[in-house]
Amino acid sequence: MIHCDNLVKIYKVADLEVVALQGLDLHVETGELMAIIGNSGSGKSTLLNMLGGLDRPSAGQLQVAGQDLLKFKERDLVRYKREIVGFVWQNNARNLIPYLSAQENVELPILLQGKRKRERALELLEAVGLSHRIKNRLNQLSGGEQQRVAIAIALANNPKLLLADEPTGSVDSKMAEQILDLFRDLNRRMGLTVIIVTHDPLLAKKVDRVVAIRDGKTSSEMIRRKSYAAELAELELGMQQAEEETHTEYAVLDKAGRLQIPAEMLKSIGIQSTNKVRVQVEEGRIVLLPPEEKEGNINAITTRAAAIMPSTSAAASIPSKATEATPAIQGDPQGVAASNGSSDTAGADPAIGIRRGGDLPKG
């Protein structure tokens, strides 16, 4: 269904270039229900915009439903957005027209296609559980109901791919659960390929596959061990513990053999302030080790030497003063007092730490 190979996107503003995607690889099969997660600025929304035909890649390959989006002209993009892809935004203002009813909002994109709109609109609103709210305007619908209307609009022209950008970001946890169940039901009944971009880890765990994006590349994937329906059945029968891990996580290798390792894993083996690791093959496994200890010892010795240098210099200056004072003390004790500008021979010299005058040691 979707094939992204070495996908690159660069935004240019005056003399500034921002690389949003840095050679991203992603393959999605037809009928898959998956989520894309990542921190802000990781490139997930950029990827979604390109899959939806709202933006063009700078380089690489992007094919959706057998069509090469890099070769599309403007007319091809309009047809693609009308027939192939449906989009659900987090902000309802981008999905809905506020002065129209729920039914009229769903009818509008069908009308643009020149098809019979009423029957299809009623069918979709029933599919999302809003058959009893078809005449209500948006200000009479809750946030979750508005999001359901948005999903019905996205499905109006029978798309093959449904893209959802944070569809549960503005609803409570109970409504988020209902929206996800709706996506799952549409995926199963209509064979729809669904891609959800989300920050919600609980929502991500309930899909079949989770792809994590970091620094413009796919860094890891989590694959569900069993189908969601099978897990629910086991939970009902008490055969599975509720806290049991449902997904297996895999690191993703790119075509150059590179992978991204989570920072917490590197920190756990002592790799924090270096970009070098030792790579060894042991018993059929690739093992990553921190740098050699001797490098750390050399750094520690250098640091210690630098730390004690001021003390060494101060200590060296003391014998120098003592050496200069010694001839005067041995030859003429009064000379020491005179050179100090004082006639008191019983005082102490704070610089060299010895007594003068009558208190000098005998012998």
CATH 3.40.50.300 occupies which residues in the chain? 2-84+159-256
Please tell me which residue, 200 or 283, carries the higher pLDDT value.
Answer: 283
Please tell me which residue, 355 or 255, carries the higher pLDDT value.
Answer: 255
Q: What is the pLDDT of residue 354?
A: 42
Q: What is the pLDDT of residue 30?
A: 92
Q: How far is residue 46's CA from residue 18's CA, in Å, rounded to a whole number?
A: 12
Phi, psi of 144 (to 5 degrees): -65, -40
Which amino acid is it at 288? L
Give the pLDDT confidence of 310-343 residue by residue, as tens digits: 444 444 444 444 444 444 444 444 444 344 444 4
What integer is the mean pLDDT of 219-236? Answer: 74
Which amino acid is it at 200? D
What is 2-84+159-256's CATH number?
Answer: 3.40.50.300
Task: Give yes or no for a contact between 52 and 27, defined as CB atoms under 8 angstroms apart.
Answer: no
Threshold 0.75, pTM exceeds: no
Q: What is the pLDDT of residue 273?
A: 77
Q: How far is residue 231's CA from residue 205's CA, in Å, rounded to a whole number?
A: 12
Helices (H), ranges, the chain: 44-51, 74-83, 92-95, 102-112, 117-127, 143-154, 173-190, 201-204, 228-237, 263-268, 293-331, 333-339
Query: Which residue is associated with the tokens 């750094």?
Result: 299
Kindly tell me if the per-residue pLDDT of 176 is higher than 90.
no
Give the pLDDT confidence of 141-151 residue by residue, as tens digits: 888 888 889 99
3-state secondary structure of 177: helix
Q: How far is residue 269's CA from residue 113's CA, in Å, rounded to a whole number?
A: 59
Task: Give yes or no for a contact between 345 and 337, defined as CB atoms under 8 angstroms apart.
Answer: yes
Q: How far is residue 191's CA from residue 161's CA, in Å, rounded to a whole number?
A: 10
